[in-house]
């Protein structure tokens, strides 16, 4: 990525890239990377990934040599992790100077049975841990290689929200995973970024389907008052953090902290 601390040809892996914040991150980072960089975009919707890849290929970055691959898969399954790992290894080259993994994928929790709870945690927690481990194994520490891991977090990692037990638990678990990782591997740059109350499909679902009436009212008031954050505005702050590269590794940083 280009910038004071971001120079170099990059390999960027972005999960949940087909829509919302992940899609915005992919488009924003494409403006920042050097020619010869490569993106691996991951989500479940193949049609949306195809559209995003086409847009990036037709952009200035694409014309300058940005290579874009996508993997349409379920990261909650072992075969999904294997597909992503293979695509990342195929996209890599000896010229790569910066490996950036953005763990953005997630889904809303709806549960009544243990199998549903296990499926949710598998997708939102276990897959994040396993994918991160696979990427770090594929790109071990070596001179001249920077490695950055971004966990898209939430205020829910720090604060309990009624009726959101699984979402809060999953986000808190992810934050701790990456705090431990930062302690274990001091050479890594690790960031948990809470993007704020984004104006996305997930927020619409929260306003209409949250089990707690007070929480639904609060979300609807935020929407009515225009207090939701656009993906573009939040992504600009994330990019600023990554370019300046002055955050404490393992830190949880909120949109409103910047």
Does the pTM surpass 0.85? The reply is: yes
Longest dimension (CA), the chain: 54
State residue 35 phi and psi, 5-degree precision: -55, 140
Distance, in Å, from the CA atom of 106 to the CA atom of 72, rounded to the nearest integer, reads 14
The per-residue DSSP string of 81-117 comes to HHHHHHHHHHH--TT--EEEEEE--------SSHHHH
Question: pLDDT class for 110, splitting at 50, 70, 90?
Answer: low
Q: Are 69 and 39 in contact (CB under 8 A)?
A: yes
pLDDT tops 60 at residue 2: no
- Per residue in 58-80, pLDDT (tens digit) is 999 999 899 999 999 999 999 99
- Per residue in 198-237, pLDDT (tens digit) is 988 778 877 777 787 888 888 888 889 999 999 999 999 9
Q: Is 140 exposed, middle or buried (0-12, 13-18, 19+ CB in 10 A)?
A: exposed
Classified as helix, coil or strand, 8 is: coil
């Amino acid at each position: 990525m280009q910038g004071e601390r971001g120079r170099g040809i990059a390999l960027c892996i972005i999960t949940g890239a087909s829509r919302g914040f992940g899609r915005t991150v992919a488009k924003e980072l494409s403006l920042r990377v050097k020619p010869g960089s490569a993106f691996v975009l991951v989500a479940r919707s193949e049609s949306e990934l195809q559209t995003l890849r086409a847009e990036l290929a037709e952009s200035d970055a694409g014309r300058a040599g940005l290579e874009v691959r996508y993997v349409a898969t379920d990261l909650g399954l072992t075969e999904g992790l294997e597909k992503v790992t293979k695509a990342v290894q195929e996209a890599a080259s000896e010229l790569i100077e910066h490996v950036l993994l953005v763990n953005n994928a997630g889904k809303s929790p709806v549960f009544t049975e243990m199998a549903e709870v296990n499926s949710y945690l598998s997708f939102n927690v276990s897959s994040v841990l396993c994918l991160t481990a696979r990427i770090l194994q594929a790109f071990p520490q070596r001179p001249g290689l920077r490695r950055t891991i971004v966990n898209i977090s939430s205020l829910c990692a720090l604060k309990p929200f009624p009726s959101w037990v699984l979402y809060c638990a999953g986000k808190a678990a992810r934050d701790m995973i990456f705090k431990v990782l930062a302690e274990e591997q001091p050479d890594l740059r690790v960031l948990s970024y809470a993007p704020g109350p984004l104006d996305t499909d997930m927020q619409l679902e929260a306003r209409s389907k949250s089990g707690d009436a007070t929480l639904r009212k609060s979300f609807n008031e935020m929407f009515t008052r225009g207090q939701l954050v656009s993906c573009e505005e939040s992504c600009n702050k994330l990019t600023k953090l990554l370019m300046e590269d002055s955050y404490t590794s393992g830190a949880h940083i909120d949109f409103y902290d910047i």
